[in-house]
Structure 1
Amino acid sequence: MMYRFLIFFFLLSGSVISQQFSAKTAFLEKWKNSKDYLLEIAEQMPEDKFGFKPTDREMSFKDQLLHIRENMTWLGTTYFSLEQLDKKKLKENLPEKKADIIRLLTNAFDKVYTQIQNTKEDTLQTETDFFAGRKSKLQILNLLQDHVTHHRGQLIVYLNLNDIKPPKYVGW
């Protein structure tokens, strides 16, 4: 009897451990922290400085946020849902006010979270056509996070250039 219990225990604990440390679970935890950190950065910048850009060739603070939102909406919808995305609509009726931009960004983060949450773990190895060649859905997940991180780093510089102390870093 004890032997059966031990086998059951090890099988159950192995299943729980593999679920805890899955790529999807790791992404979702990081995605939530990434959302919180980016929104805190967005809140730090005063609304009258949302148009700030360090040089003419760079995007403004506001445009960086909207670009992040557009990219995550495109990747999340195209590769992790059955929904058809009209990319032109992503650029229509964009808000000007800080609160509205932050709400739009929040909704995009939440939508991607739900899309990934609803994605089956075993499909992350599936390759799909991408403009840069065939990529696995896991690679697309990595791109989602990497893109946010890239532009968030630029936004931190924008804050510093305006003598605004960025929020403390939030990692995993």
Structure 2
Amino acid sequence: MAQNTVISAFLLKWENSKNYLIEMAELMPEEHYNYKPTERQMSFQEQLLHIRSNMVWLSETNFVDDTYIKSEKIAPKTKEELILELTNSFDKVTEIITSISEEDLTTQVDFFAGPKSKLQILNLLQDHVTHHRGQLIIYLNLNNITPPKYRGW
């Protein structure tokens, strides 16, 4: 896929980000999904659920119209179910972003942190995943699991 537009570059990075996170989720044994390094931190599973809910919220609040059927809140019971929901959510973001135009990225939206362009929201989508994925790398290391090799692009 070419990366000569903002959207095409995002979509390429988004697919790599999905694959990277899913690999991490697969590496952690299911019995360690409740692991958290300290009491005040989210567990491995809570981190994954948080990533998923944030990507759903950001994409479905800022890039679709009122006719879009929004995702439901989830409560997966197994590691496999959670990984499937994560994968589906990444794919939904891809579908949503594929349907917008480059011009649409200049549109301003109301955001809790003040007005933002859709381009800023697009950047936040990726940045938020990266932030929490970095925490998950530490969770894996603390459980003596070698994290997957970093993929930049």
TM-score (norm 2): 0.94
Q: What percentage of residue pairs aligned between the two structures are identical?
A: 59
Which one of the candidate residues 120, 128, 133 is aligned to 1:139? Answer: 120
Secondary structure in 2 matching 1:171: coil
- Structure 2: state its 5+ residue gaps: none
Report if the CA contact (8 A) 1:78-1:84 is conserved: no
Does residue 112 in structure 1 map to residue 119 in structure 2? Answer: no
Cα distance in 1 for residues equivalent to 2:152 and 2:22: 14
The Cα shift of 1:163 comes to 0.4
Match of 1:11 in 2: none
Of Structure 1 and Structure 2, the greater helix share is in 1
Q: Which structure would you say has the larger Rg? A: 1
Match of 1:3 in 2: none
Match of 2:106 in 1: 125
User: Residues 59-78 of structure 1, C-alpha deviation per residue, up to 9 Å, x if partnerless?
Assistant: 00001000000000001111
- For residues 38-53 of structure 1, the aligned pairs below 5 Å read 38-53=21-36
- Structure 1: state its 5+ residue gaps: 1-18
Report if the CA contact (8 A) 2:3-2:12 is conserved: no
User: Residues 117-166 of structure 1, C-alpha deviation per residue, up to 9 Å, x if partnerless?
Assistant: 00111110111111111100000000000000000000000000000000
Secondary structure in 2 matching 1:78: helix
Does residue 164 in structure 1 map to residue 112 in structure 2? Answer: no
The Cα shift of 1:84 comes to 6.3
Cα distance in 1 for residues equivalent to 2:128 and 2:51: 7
Over the residues paired in the alignment, what is the CA RMSD in angstroms?
Answer: 1.4
Does residue 65 in structure 1 map to residue 48 in structure 2? Answer: yes
Report if the CA contact (8 A) 1:81-1:115 is conserved: yes
User: Residues 14-44 of structure 1, C-alpha deviation per residue, up to 9 Å, x if partnerless?
Assistant: xxxxx84111111000000000000001111
Moved over 2 A (4+): 83-86
Give the aligned residue type for 2:79. K
Report if the CA contact (8 A) 1:74-1:85 is conserved: no
Cα distance in 2 for residues equivalent to 1:57 and 1:147: 19
The Cα shift of 1:96 comes to 2.4
